[in-house]
Structure 1
Amino acid sequence: MELIIYEEREIREMANNPPLTDAIVVALARLIDDSQLTDKREPTHYDLDVLFVQSKIAEGDKPGPGGKPIGKAKRIRGALNWALINNLQGGEAFVSALISTVQGYGGFRPQSANYCGLEAVANLIAAIAIHGWELSLDGSLAPRVLEAMGGGQLTAALESYADRARRGALDSPLLAGTAKDLLEATAAHVLVEKWGSYPTHSNFPTLLGQAFTALSLATPTDPVQAGEPAQKRVERAAYELGCALNALRNKQGTGHGRPWLSSITSSQARFAIESMGNIASLMLNEL
C-alpha cells in the first residue's frame, strides 16, 4: 500500500509556487522577447530548455507545423497550456523558475538591456495578485499573508486555493501565512463576513457548523423536514465530510510538514484534497 508521506521541505517547495491559470500563462509569456533583431533579450531558448526539463513539462514543448522552430513566448504558452491539463505542479514550478530567471537577467530592472517593460510586468503582477501572491516591480515573488487580508480580497484568495484543491494540488490543505487549513480558514472568513467575528477557541466541528448556519446551509443538527429540497441532504453530507477531512489532517506543528496522517494512501489524500476544495467552494459561493 502506497503511503502519502512528504517531507517538510517538499511541502514547503510546493506551497511556495503560485497557481497556474490561463491568465498567468498569457501574462508570463509576455515577459519574454520574441524579437528577430540582432539584440535579443535574455532568457534564451537554451534557458527555456533547461527550465522545461527541470519543471518536468518538456513534453508540452512542441515545435511548430512541419517541425519548424517557434518563438520563446509561443513555446512557453504551449508548454504551460499542456501543464494545465497534464502536470499542474510542474507548471506552477515553472512559473516561479521563469520569474527568477528573468529577474536574474535584469528583466525587472528598467536600466537593464533585458528589461521586460512596465506594461508586461504590471500585467503579470495583476494576474498573480488575484490568487493571493505578490510580485514586486523588482521581480520578488512571495505569497501574501492571508491573515492580513479581509473582505473581497480574502474571498478571492480563498477561491484560488479552493480551485487548486479541486484540481488536486498537493499543498492545498496548507495555506500560506496561516496555520489554518483551507476549510478552517474559509469557515472563519464566512463568520467574519456574516457576523463580524469568529470564535477563535472553538473546535473545528463547531466552527464549521456556525459557518454553515450563517450561510443557511443544513447540518446534521437541523431536523429533516418533510418535502425539503434534496440539496439539504447534500449540505448535511458536506458538513460531515468536512469534519472527517479535518480529522485526517496531521495536527503536529503549525500547518507545515506532512499535511495528512501518514496512514492514508495517495488516492485517499487526493480525494480529501479535492473534497476540501468542493466544500470550501460551496461556502464561498453561498457567501
Structure 2
Amino acid sequence: MTKKVPLTDEIVFTVADLVDDAQQPTREPSHSEIEFQINRYNLQKGDPRSQGLTVGKAKRIRAVLSWAMETDHEAGEKLVASLISLIKARGGFRETSKNYVGKEAIINAQVAFKEEGFDLSKEGDLRVLVLDNLSDLEKEDALRAYIRRAKKGAEDAALLAGTGKDLLEAVSAFILTKLWGDYPQTSNFPTLLGQTFTALGLITSKQNNNQSNRKAHQRFEASLYELGCSVNMLRNKEGTGHGRPFLPTLTEGEAKAAVESMGMISEFLMNKLKNVQ
C-alpha cells in the first residue's frame, strides 16, 4: 500500500463516496476515526466539524481534501492513502462485511486512481501501476499521469516504481518502441535520449551542425536535450534508503525544479510523438 497518492477533484469525490453512509445505516469508519486521520496530517483547519458544523462523512471528506488541494497538497495525498487503508481495515472492500461500500463506489474509485497511474484492487490494495504489465494504450495513459504529477513537482513521479527507470528513461523507451519496435536497453541515458530526439525529428546539443545557424525552435530542442541529460545526472542511482530520487546534496527547491523539468520534457516528447505516428 502506497503512503500517498495523487489528489485530484475526481479522487476527492470518489474517496468521499467511499465513506458516504447517508443513504443507509451508519457504517465504519466512524467520524472519530476519520477525525484521527485528519488530525494526523494537520488538516483540521479544513474540517467543517472543527468549525462547529454538523456534516456527514462524505461532505466532511470533500471539504477537508478540497482544502488540502489549495493549502497542503502533500498532506492531502497522504490522507487519501490513509483513508483507503482505513476503509479496507474496516471491511469496506469486502462484500460480506456490514461496512461494504458498494460495487459502484469501488469501480468509480478504481477509474479515478487508474487515470493517475495507480491501481486500486477490488480488495482495497492501492499500488502504483507497473508499466511492464500494461498495454500500449494503458502505458501511455500511465506515463501521462506520471508526467502530470512530475509537472507539479511530486518527487515520487521522478523514479517509476518497480522499473528502475526515471520518467525520461521510461518515456524514451516507450517512444522508441512505438517508432522502432524496440529500444537499446544497454545504451547510456544520453544515447537513449538522443535517439528519441532523432526519432522524433528533433535537434540535440550533440549534433555538429553550426549552432549559430540554428533556428529558434532548434535551439530550444537542443536545450531540452541538454536539460534532460543534466537532470539525469542528478539521479540518485545508489539510493538513500528513503526512496529519494535525487542526490542528497540537492535542496528541496532544486529537486522540485528537477522533477518539474522531467515532466516538462517528457510531455514535450509525448506530444511530438502524436505528430510522427
Query: What TM-score results when the alignment is normalised by the length of structure 1?
Result: 0.86
Q: Percent identity?
A: 46
Q: Greater relative contact order: 1 or 2 (C-alpha under 8 angstroms, separation 6 or more)?
A: 1
Superposition deviation, residue 253 in structure 1: 5.3
Cα offset for 1:226? 5.2
Select 2:250's aligned residue among 251, 264, 276: 264
Distance 1:135 1:248 in 2: 32
Contact 2:21 2:57 in 1 (8 A): yes
Q: In structure 1, how many angstroms separate the alpha carbons of the residues matched to 2:57 and 2:240?
A: 41
Contact 2:204/2:222 (8 A) holds in 1: yes
2:199 equivalent in structure 1: 214
Contact 2:113 2:120 in 1 (8 A): yes
Note the residue ranges of structure 1 that are not aligned, 5 or more in a row: 1-12
CA contact under 8 A between 2:240 and 2:248: conserved in structure 1? no
Q: 1:138 aligns with which of 120, 123, 131?
A: 123
Structure 1 CA distance, aligned partners of 2:39 and 2:162? 30
Q: Offset of 1:36 from its aligned partner?
A: 7.2
What is the Cα deviation at residue 63 of structure 1? 5.0
**Structure 1 residues 222 and 80, CA gap change in structure 2 (3 angstroms):** farther
Partner of 1:156: 141
Asked whether the 8 Å contact 1:83–1:90 carries over to 2, the reply is: yes
SS at match of 2:225: helix
Aligned residues: 271
The answer to whether 1:54 aligns with 2:58 is no
Is 1:21 aligned to residue 11 of structure 2? no
Q: Which residue of 2 aligns with 1:249?
A: 235
Cα displacement (A) at 1:45: 1.4
2:178 to 193, 196, 206: 193
Question: 8 Å contact 1:180–1:255 — kept in the other structure?
Answer: no
Cα deviation, residue 275, structure 1: 0.9
State which drifts further: 120-129 or 55-64: 55-64
* Partner in structure 1 of residue 160 of structure 2: 175
Q: Which position in structure 2 is the counterpart of 1:69? A: 54
Deviation sequence 1:40-71 (CA, Å, 0-9, x none): 1111111111111223333322359x853222
Stretches of 4+ moved more than 4 A in 1? 224-227, 253-256
Measured at CA, do residues 273 and 237 of structure 1 come closer, stay the same or move farther in structure 2, by a change above 3 Å?
same
| RMSD value, Cα | 2.4
